[in-house]
Structure 1
């Protein structure tokens, strides 16, 4: 029996949503970066952060353009950027219809890019 989503931590709510969207794929969950990381085919694709933020791997060629989306910024490891192809989407910007799905699709598209599929 699932608990009331309003009583869950933001991280767990996002992780549950990601589990649904990633069902049917080769996914392994790992505690990483203070979040719940989702490894797809053995590679990090997404992570649900403590506050419900989404760490997402995207095509590095789309990195700069995707930073223009509301609530998107470059994630930091300490005081250093994680680099091209990694973005952090604030949890408040993941609730619109199809928004989370679009970020998952971007990650999976990047994941299966040239030489990876």
Structure 2
């Protein structure tokens, strides 16, 4: 055990876990978890051109060249919604106004959805439908 950092719990490569140091707790998200979320998103989209683009510190899913959602590192979702639907959607318990840095609102039409909520397939489909509604002008 000599020379080993005893203030940190080892986590095998590619595994989810916790890193703990005195006074600090960091959740380590499995790299494959975000890939799984992106795959779940893309499987639910209609036929069309889909691509992924790194932006906003996340991986955005572009559909027919329009950004729909972005999978964040913590598995939350940044969702583009119609401005007319924004007030009702941001009031939902799993939603919050998206921010570009602490306290800097991205404005109407940008909503952050909690990662725990989008684990549920029905909830993920709901938010994808909102993004598609905006894109299609519905």
Per the shorter chain, which TM-score range? 0.7 to 0.9
- Show the counterpart of 2:47: 24
Structure 1 residue 92 corresponds to structure 2 residue 116: yes
- Residue 38 of structure 1 deviates from its aligned partner by 0.9
TM-score norm. by structure 1 comes to 0.83
Uncovered stretches (5+) of structure 1, i.e. residues with no partner: 1-5
Q: When you count helix as a share of all residues, which structure comes out higher?
A: 1
Larger radius of gyration: 2
Uncovered stretches (5+) of structure 2, i.e. residues with no partner: 1-28
The structure 2 residue matched to 1:81, chosen from 105, 111, 120, is 105
State the Cα RMSD in Å.
2.2
Q: Cα gap change, 1:13/1:97 in structure 2, threshold over 3 Å: closer, same or farther?
A: closer
Q: Cα gap change, 1:97/1:15 in structure 2, threshold over 3 Å: closer, same or farther?
A: closer
Rounded to whole Å, the distance in 2 between the matches of 1:92 and 1:67 is 16
Q: Which has the higher contact order (CA 8 A, sep 6+)?
A: 1
How many pairs does the alignment contain? 111
Deviating 4+ runs (over 3 angstroms): 6-10
Structure 1 residue 56 corresponds to structure 2 residue 79: yes
